[in-house]
Amino acid sequence: MFGVNVTDYDRQVYEEELRDFLPDNIIDVHVHIYKQEMQRHSAADRKGCVNWPHMVAPDLTIEDMKQSYLQMFPGKNVRAVIMGMPSCRLPEVNEYVLGCSKQEGLPALYCTNWDTPADEIRAAMKAGFYGIKPYLNNSPSYIPANEVRIFDFLTHEHLKVMDELGGIVMLHIPRSLRLRDPVNLAQMMEIEEKYPNAKIIIAHIGRAYVPGDIGDAFETLKHTKNMKFDFTANTLTLAMVKCIEAVGTKRLMFGSDMPITKMRMYRICEDNHYVNVVPRGAYGDVSGDPNMKEVDDASHMTTFMYEELRAFKRCAEELKLSREDVCDILCNNTARLFNMKI
């Protein structure tokens, strides 16, 4: 679907809950742009990827992204940090992203494979990319998805280049225990200590989508000085609160993970796992997907984007964040990191 099918309820949520809360300038630090024909379809190429995002949105062109922002954020100036979809053929999607970056004046990240040569990354940075977007599906094929570690797809060789050039890494951490996984935490802290000039963003607050994903992780992460976080595709207010309590408001950023946040849904926790509740029939047959649940009445169901921002608003109210804090998280922190003019 091009753009967003905005409902009366969406308009009500925006006008009554979000318009005045949101700053005039917003920067979305995490958007995937790609074309459907760029996708790889083998099981190996989709290792570690959940199925439901591709039911929701088969692609997102730069034109679609711009239209979606206009419809979802009337009266606001929204810009983005763009990157390809890691499940695409990387040379094609990186070329498309770079072209869009230059056309629109938006910063971009380069999708990498585990064995992408260091010189290729240096060349990408010279061409205009600000850093890299590794992903667990692009780890060695012989490693099972549930056993992938960070260094299997974000290698020390890549981190040395990022440290050398002051590059940005958008890191989606692996493993079923997510943020609280001890292997993840150990490797995150190793990156923090060994590569202080690399600018690491832990995407999705480490995939802490339900309370059980957090554990005692922030008892470790509160000792970091450089690591940053985004709350992309995360509707768990508790994760946002814990993150801010641990690292402050200057190291958390808003991201949407578009196109998936165009989805109409709300999220619940069942047996310590997240479940997206969606309108019946809206996204094909979801009966075999443990992260999807259908309901008949969607009259008071809004977009994932608005649900995420509602969760952040609850966080801001709970912590009594100042207007400056809110503007930092929704715009200024990303602007500073990517040298974007506001």
Q: Tell me the pLDDT tens digit for each residue of 155-206.
A: 999 999 999 999 999 999 998 899 999 999 999 999 999 999 999 999 999 9
Q: In this predicted model, what pLDDT tens digit does every residue of 261-281 receive, in sequence order?
A: 999 999 999 999 999 999 999
Domain boundaries of the chain, sorted by first residue: 8-263+303-337
Q: How confident is the model at residue 145 (pLDDT cuts 50, 70, 90)?
A: confident
Give me the phi and psi of 216, to 5 degrees please: -105, 25
Taking only the tens place, the pLDDT of each residue in 203-228 is 999 999 999 999 999 999 999 999 99
Buried/exposed 234-269: b ≥16 CB within 10 Å, e otherwise = bbbbbbbebbbebbebebbbbbbbbbbbbbbbbbee
DSSP alpha helices (H): ranges in the chain?
8-13, 52-56, 62-72, 90-104, 118-127, 150-153, 156-165, 182-194, 204-207, 217-221, 237-247, 304-319, 323-327, 333-337
Q: How far apart are CA 313 and CA 326, in angstroms?
A: 9
Q: What is the CATH number of domain 8-263+303-337?
A: 3.20.20.140
pLDDT number for residue 46:
58
What is the three-class DSSP state of 70?
Answer: helix
User: Higher confidence at residue 44 or residue 151?
Assistant: 151
The total of other beta-carbon atoms located within 10 Å of residue 54's CB is: 20
The mean per-residue pLDDT over the stretch 304-331 comes to 98
Q: How far apart are the C-alpha atoms of 291 and 72, rounded to whole Å?
A: 25
Q: Do residues 111 and 45 make contact, with C-beta atoms less than 8 angstroms apart?
A: no
Integer CA distances (angstroms), 15 to 22, 50, 72, 141, in order = 11, 33, 11, 48
Residue 139 region by backbone torsions, left for phi larger than 0, else alpha for psi between -120 and 50, else beta: beta
